[in-house]
Structure 1
């Protein structure tokens, strides 16, 4: 079947049933991930969901098949833009960085940032990740048994790691501000992004004032460090040298001096936008992957033992390096399976420019389009017994047998996450060091989750840990 834009009339998109006046508004607010799963189960791979009262009603066109996802993110990506209300709210709070920018802004930013994410450059941060992991483990029980909330612990570790790589030695003050202010701002973005009516940000409501104060504090700490780095940055210096690995510089220094052919450097506010996006995307996504990998291994002791045996065989007692990531294939499979079951970005939104045929149905021009890794990653067409934890789904042979977009925790196409190599490097190194030191048993066997800007836990994810090496 051919796919493409402006294809004429196709089968009507089936709609998910909802309440008479407000449609699925309550379902989406209380359990959006469950609502998307139910939509696919009842109606297939392209489903329309309506939410809100007449006059304020939103229509969401959900695409759940791997083939449809590929069309939206890759083969026809120009027709599906980040123009919806949710992305605008992120822009208004976190700036117009790589996550939200479009068109020439995005292309220019990508050209400037790309040299900082080459394999050689990313691999140079392995030592910082290992050092922060070792420091984090020092706060865990040093003998006998104890209980650790792995979601909280991995959020702390991932934030310190990305802050160290961004800011070098200026970690403590930055981490404190981000830890306090990010939840205020992300909650604010979510409320406004999913509300049919939002008051202007300039109105002196309690919510607006709290968010403005948190943003002012975030901006201030970023602007101060950026000014110091920009004053100290050498000319040039954005890319790797030809004679060896990149020098050990923090990422902000490299961003401050980044230039590419025909492009000016980042303006100060643009630099802050990139920093805020890297802080947001760089710590919440990795923290989610690590926390759920540990949670799943705590529930599956055989897989935990298998991963630990690989770590012991490959690393022994030495500190892991970037080259070790490829030497730990089973541990990598564990992480990929955790990202399948608990994708850090469980929902991705776009807006259609032109009417487009997707899966035999017409998605109209201007429609809000929803992709849900949470659903596609559980699609029984690609994942037999989809709720079962099975790292062997990600052997090279199994991956080659599946459609490319059956698994897309880092998005895809021209807007794929620029930091995915760093995320995998950080996750494998940290997980290897943690599992080498501790054995895990789940205390909380069920962890309720919901969709925020990233996947959110709605309760603790505690594990009983036992020290293995002391």
Structure 2
């Protein structure tokens, strides 16, 4: 990535650099522990830090911004100057298509106009029944858990994938879930490896990695294309319209915008599958992990659930009646943000927090770091849901907490994520008590936050 000269940067103090090794900079540190590297950079050098990655001649200079004010500038107030043009987003675009996550300019605006009506609060609230049904099925399977232990990371990934697949595809859940569960890890590992590498061979070369990824992508694309084709054949034959999100996407129209063609539909489906299950699964898994380590907070959350719901199935209207459970989830998303790192590219030279950032620079935001910033969070590593009372939230800068991004590119599915998370967590806590078995969980940053081992909890039926 070309970086501007001092003549291009304009005003501002020179950005301090994180120490690295002469030939590779901080490349090996980022590969080994990217989250720890970003945290160390902020602790040593402050809120804007340059990290050099790769050998001379191929080196990328990353300008890391850790303050809430800087995050607001990049994502909101000067968002037009910070584009999704960095190499990592290009790898996602080349793999998962040009859907809402990766599209830009008029492509993005058109897609957003077409998709926005499908994510209104009223529409999303209608998915509550599907979430509750999948949660009930997951809980029923735990009665056979060996030694009463479940890996909540795997279980929540399975639950979230089934829920989003049911909402997207309706009756085609089982065929989709198996393919996604098998293919997504191969594909995301491939994207991550290429995103961190200073040089990549062309995707068309028959290397083992390219061939594995291509086979996984072909299988994943195939199942999406088959379901899309079946929906369109049914519609052409005059069949009763399905109510799943895919059917709604296929029929989406807005003034002056053509409907999605088959390839564009697949791009949207792939992005919704990626963003719609891994992020929610991460929030749920770590909420359970944290409650399993903090029995007093777990008891408070369960008491609220029992008082509000009794034995009935939760509905969308219950979200506002479960404020403590919502605070638990927000605190879990603070400590374990599903998108721990966000990248952009600066179009023009600018100044962030008083530091000069050149045109063409790769700019990194790290919710993982900002969510632990001692300026905004006292005792930042401590689990405390009461950080998210309305009074406490009003005292902090808007972008001290941004697990869903922000500005004009904020996640369109954030209400759905909260709906799914609150309903699922309420049903789980009503049925089971949790005790964390793995008190420390090794982590890494892929496209989303990744666990590098199990997140096991011992579960006991509550009698309800």
Tell me the TM-score normalised to structure 2 length: 0.96
For 1:171, what is the secondary structure of its paired residue?
helix
Q: Distance in 2 between matches of 1:355 and 1:15?
A: 18
Aligned residues of 2:9 and 2:358 also touching (Cα < 8 A)? no
Matching residue within 204, 207, 212 for 2:206: 204
Kindly indicate whether the alpha-carbon contact (under 8 Å) linking 2:9 and 2:359 is maintained by their aligned counterparts in 1. Answer: no
Equivalent pair of 1:444/1:461 in contact (CA under 8 Å): yes
After superposition, the Cα gap between the structure-2 partners of 1:113 and 1:124, relative to the gap in structure 1 and judged at 3 Å, is same
> Are residue 108 (structure 1) and residue 110 (structure 2) matched?
yes
Match of 1:340 in 2: 334
Q: For 1:369, what is the secondary structure of its paired residue?
A: strand
| CA deviations over 1:66-121 (Å, ceiling 9, x no partner) | 00000000000000000000000001110000000000000000000000000000
User: Alignment partner for residue 78 of structure 2, among 61, 76, 79?
Assistant: 76
Given that 1:87 and 1:100 are in contact with CA atoms closer than 8 Å, whether structure 2 keeps it comes out as: yes
Partner of 1:50: 52
Within a 5 Å distance, the mapping from 1:234-383 to structure 2 comes to 249-383=243-377
CA distance in 1 between counterparts of 2:234 and 2:440 reads 49
Displacement after TM superposition at 1:144 (Å): 11
Q: What is the alpha-carbon distance in structure 2 between the residues aligned to residue 144 and residue 74 of structure 1?
A: 48
In structure 1, which of residues 220, 223, 230 is the aligned counterpart of residue 222 of structure 2? 220
* Matched residues, number: 454
Measured in 2, the distance between the counterparts of 1:230 and 1:428 equals 34
Distance apart, 1:53 and its partner CA: 1.1
Within 5 Å, which residues of 2 pair with 1:368-407? 368-407=362-401
Instruction: Looking at secondary structure, tell me which structure has more helix per residue.
Output: 2
Q: 1:147–1:465: 8 Å Cα contact kept in structure 2?
A: yes
DSSP-derived class of the 2:380 partner: coil
Aligned ranges 1:129-144 → 2 under 5 Å: 129-141=131-143
Partner of 2:4: none
Q: Does 1:464 align with 2:458?
A: yes
Q: Which runs of 4+ in 1 moved over 4 A?
A: 142-145
TM-score, normalised to structure 1, is 0.95
Structure 1: segments with no counterpart, 5+ residues: 1-5, 236-246
Q: Give the secondary structure class of the aligned counterpart of 1:466.
A: strand
Q: Distance in 1 between matches of 2:22 and 2:296?
A: 49
The answer for the alignment partner of 2:441 in structure 1 is 447
**Secondary structure of 1:140 counterpart:** helix
CA separation of 1:256/1:377 partners in 2, compared to 1, >3 Å: closer, same or farther?
Answer: same
What do the CA deviations read for 1:291-346 (whole angstroms, capped 9, x no partner)?
00000000000000000000000000000000001100000000000000000000
For each residue in 1:178-222, what CA deviation from the matched residue of structure 2 results, as whole angstroms up to 9, or x when unmatched?
000010100000000110000000001111111111000011100
Q: Which runs of 5+ in 2 are unaligned?
A: 1-7
SS of residue matched to 1:54: coil
- Cα displacement (A) at 1:8: 2.6
Tell me the secondary structure at the aligned position of residue 202 of structure 1. coil
- Aligned 8 A contact 1:230 1:257 in 2: no
For residues 449-470 of structure 1, the C-alpha deviation after alignment (integer angstroms, 9 at most, x for no partner) is 0100000001110000001126
Residue 96 (structure 1) aligns with: 98
Counterpart position of 2:407: 413
State the distance in 1 between where 2:132 and 2:447 align: 27
**Deviation per CA, 1:358-405, whole angstroms, max 9, x where unpaired?**
000010000000000000000000000000000000000001110000
Cα RMSD (Å) of the superposition?
1.5
Q: Distance in 1 between matches of 2:86 and 2:208?
A: 25
Distance in 1, matches of 2:185 and 2:304, equals 37
